[in-house]
Amino acid sequence: MTASPVGIALVKSFESCRLVAYQDTGGVWTIGWGHTQGVKAGDTWTQAEADSWLTVDLMHAARDVNNAIRVGVTQNQFDALVSFQFNTGGLTQEECHLRTYLNAGQIALAAGQFVMWDHDATGKELAGLKRRRLAEMQLFLKG
């Protein structure tokens, strides 16, 4: 599966596009729609570069979801998982209970795990991440 326009819109609604590199709350250099790989201070992009990299980054997140999830999911569930993976990388982490519950067919327990990922890299709970996790959970539960 691949991310649908609904999933892409969800990601964009929480990722502002910045064309000059900046450090996120965890100190990670970031540019565009949340791209982090190879970014350094002073980097700049055009809007076209940012949009192109978002496509690539979402393809990587979709690949991760396809590899991590062993059960059938709806497009809404997939889109929620892609947004989650794009932002956290959590589905590929060993301790990801969301993945474990989903692969066991425990949809409600899996959905409840989204909100457990509302902290930044330093362990601080962030209201913006809580809003994002709730939006992902709501889309996931639409089935």
3-state DSSP of 61-114: HHHHHHHHCCCCCCHHHHHHHHHHHHHHCHHHCCCCHHHHHHHCCCHHHHHHCH
Quick check: helix, strand or coil at residue 32?
A: strand
**Per-domain residue ranges for the chain?**
5-141
% of the chain residues with pLDDT over 70: 99
Is 78 in contact with 61 (CB distance < 8 Å)? Answer: no
Q: Report pLDDT for 80.
A: 98
Q: Is the pLDDT of residue 122 over 90?
A: no
User: So what's the pLDDT on residue 124?
Assistant: 87
Active site residues: 15
- Using CA of residue 135, residue 137, residue 140, residue 143, what is the dihedral sign? negative
Q: For residue 18, what pLDDT is reported?
A: 97
Q: Does 13 score more than 80 pLDDT?
A: yes
pLDDT tops 90 at residue 120 = no
Average pLDDT over residues 8-34: 95
Domain formed by 5-141, architecture = Orthogonal Bundle (1.10)
Give the mean model confidence (pLDDT) for residues 24-49.
95
Q: Is the pLDDT of residue 143 over 80?
A: no
Per residue in 70-104, pLDDT (tens digit) is 999 999 999 999 999 999 999 999 899 999 999 99
With beta carbons less than 8 A apart as the criterion, state whether 143 and 79 touch.
no
Q: Is 88 exposed, middle or buried (0-12, 13-18, 19+ CB in 10 A)?
A: buried
In this predicted structure, what is the pLDDT of residue 34? 95
Q: Is 54 within 8 Å of 35 (Cβ atoms)?
A: yes
Task: Please check the confidence at residue 22 and state whether its pLDDT lies above 90.
Answer: yes
